[in-house]
């Protein structure tokens, strides 16, 4: 089923009611039907003086989760430094700092855009910043603009591995609900809808021979990723308890492979991301929780 592509590490930050900072919008009648939940930004805000030139809130969170995903995959910095490791992100909205830059320019004029702000205001900044921090020199890209962005990023990672461009890829799917993004979500969703959750999910996707050679934990085997077209009747898996927009699919994969009860989960699961405008993507994964490489 797989071309020998496996998931060897996962990391997830998902906004949830109760343990995360929750921003409930709904003062206007038009937006009473759902909430927008944000992740905690305290860690970034505390470190902002030293990190501002190096990190945005998104790249800061991503860099932390890269450390987690590598730890889970039993990899250290030396092992991923070099051309064998690539990185890719997928997000519907991308980085809110991009929208914020345009707002600053409109409100405060040209001098409000300095070199750092401008360089950081690209949707590929988080993956670039992580590449610099960890020395990743493999392929890199940022997919944006649809609910399938995260799954498209996973597809690209799979392509790179199958085509022999690198040995492993860090796949990051996220939504950054800062700045004007929540307003846009509310305007787009209208009066009713599921809660929208800020999320960042990372996978370490590797060629199985590479993972096996270092006796890495193999969490799942990745199947072929297929595009769904036409009248899409399938539904998304929806493990997150809310809408994670462009992180859908990848967040489900992270939850499923990291879940403590995954050993009892079905052996083969189909994960989907569906965008009503541009279509969908689906992949089948075989869960291999607790099956260490021989």
Partner 1 sequence: MRPVAITGMGVVVRDAIGVPAFAKWVMQGGGLPECPVHIDTSLFRAKKAYAVAPDAVRTALANLLRRNGLSDIGQCDLDCAGHGLLAAAEALEMARLPSELRARCGIALATTSGGMMDRFDDALRAEDAASGTAAVALPGAAAAILSRVIGLHGPIASFSCACSSSPAAFSYALSRLRAGDAPIMLAGGSDRIRAADFAGFNALRAMDRDRCRPFDANRKGMVIGDGAAMLVLEDEDHAHARGAQPLGHLVETGLALDAHHITHPNPQGLARAMRQALAKAGLQPDDVGYVNCHGTGTPVNDRVEAAALASIFTDRARRPLISSTKGATGHLLGTAGAIEALITVLALGAGAAPAMASTEMPEETGFEMPGTDGPRAFEGRYAMSNSLGFGGINGSLIFEAGR
Question: What residues line the site for partner 1 (CB under 8 A)?
Answer: 81, 83, 86-87, 92-94, 98-99, 101-103, 105-106, 109-110, 113-115, 117-125, 127-129, 131-132, 134-146, 148-149, 152, 156, 159-160, 163-165, 180, 183-184, 187-188, 226-227, 229-230, 277-279
Minimum separation from the CB atom of position 245 to partner 1 (A): 10
Share in percent of the chain as helix, strand, coil (round to 5): 35, 25, 35
- Specify whether the CB–CB gap between 286 and 266 falls below 8 A: no
Rounded to a whole number of angstroms, the CA Rg of the chain reads 19
Looking at the Cβ atoms of 163 and 261, the one nearer to partner 1 is 163
Count of CB atoms situated within 10 Å of the CB of 269: 19
Query: Strand, coil or helix: what is 250?
Result: helix
Q: How far is the CB of 81 from partner 1 (least distance, A)?
A: 8
**From the CB of 19, what's the least distance to partner 1, in Å?**
30
Can you tell me which residue has the tokens 């270092």? 214
Instruction: Give which of 246, 195, 199, 243 is closest to 24, Cα–Cα.
Output: 195
Query: CB 110: neighbour CB atoms within 10 A?
Result: 7
Q: Which is nearer to partner 1, 119 or 263 (CB)?
A: 119
List of residues 6+ apart from 102 with CB closer than 8 A: none
Of the pair 3, 45, the CB lying nearest partner 1 is at 3
DSSP E strands, the chain = 5-14, 22-23, 36-37, 85-91, 140-144, 168-175, 196-197, 199-207, 220-228, 268-275, 279-287
Report residue 217 as tokens. 């934990």
Give me the least distance between CB of 48 and partner 1, in Å please: 17
Nearer to partner 1, 12 or 60 (CB): 60
Least distance in angstroms from the C-beta of 264 to partner 1: 34
- State the minimum distance, in angstroms, from the CB of residue 261 to partner 1: 34
* H runs (alpha helix) in 25-148: 42-46, 48-51, 57-72, 77-80, 96-108, 115-120, 125-134
Nearest to 151 by CA among 68, 236, 221, 208: 236
- In the complex with partner 1, the residue whose CB is nearer, 44 or 125, is 125
Of the pair 49, 111, the CB lying nearest partner 1 is at 111
Nearer to partner 1, 18 or 164 (CB): 164
d(Cα 158, Cα 80) in Å, to the nearest integer? 17
Pairing of strands 22-23, 36-37: antiparallel
CB of 291 to partner 1, least distance (A): 28
Shortest separation between residue 290's beta carbon and partner 1, angstroms = 32
The neighbouring-strand residues paired with 5 are 207
Of the pair 86, 217, the CB lying nearest partner 1 is at: 86
């Amino acid at each position: 089923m797989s071309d020998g592509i496996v998931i060897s590490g996962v990391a997830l930050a998902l906004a949830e009611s109760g343990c995360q900072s929750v921003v409930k919008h709904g003062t206007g009648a038009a937006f009473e039907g759902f909430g927008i939940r944000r992740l905690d930004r305290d860690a970034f805000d505390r470190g902002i003086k030293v990190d501002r030139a190096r990190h945005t809130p998104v790249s800061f969170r991503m860099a932390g989760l890269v450390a987690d995903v590598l730890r889970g995959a039993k990899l250290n910095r030396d092992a991923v430094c070099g051309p064998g490791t690539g990185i890719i992100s997928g997000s519907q909205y991308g980085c809110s700092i991009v929208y914020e830059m345009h707002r600053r320019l409109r409100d405060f004029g040209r001098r409000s855009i300095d070199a750092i702000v401008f360089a950081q205001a690209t949707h590929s900044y988080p993956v670039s910043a992580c590449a610099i921090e960890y020395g990743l020199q493999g392929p890199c890209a940022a997919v944006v603009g649809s609910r399938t962005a995260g799954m498209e990023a996973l597809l690209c990672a799979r392509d790179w591995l199958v085509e022999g461009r690198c040995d492993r890829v860090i796949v990051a799917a996220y939504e950054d609900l800062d700045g004007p993004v929540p307003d846009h979500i509310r305007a787009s969703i209208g009066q009713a809808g599921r809660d929208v959750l800020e999320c960042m999910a990372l996978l370490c996707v590797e060629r199985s021979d590479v993972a096996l050679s270092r006796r890495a934990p193999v969490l799942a085997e990745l199947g072929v990723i297929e595009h769904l077209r036409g009248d899409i009747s399938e539904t998304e898996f929806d493990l997150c308890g809310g809408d994670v927009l462009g992180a859908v699919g990848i967040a489900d994969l992270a939850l499923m492979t990291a879940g403590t009860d995954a050993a009892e989960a079905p052996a083969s699961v189909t994960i989907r991301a569906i965008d009503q405008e541009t279509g969908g993507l689906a992949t089948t994964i075989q869960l291999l929780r607790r099956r260490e490489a021989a």
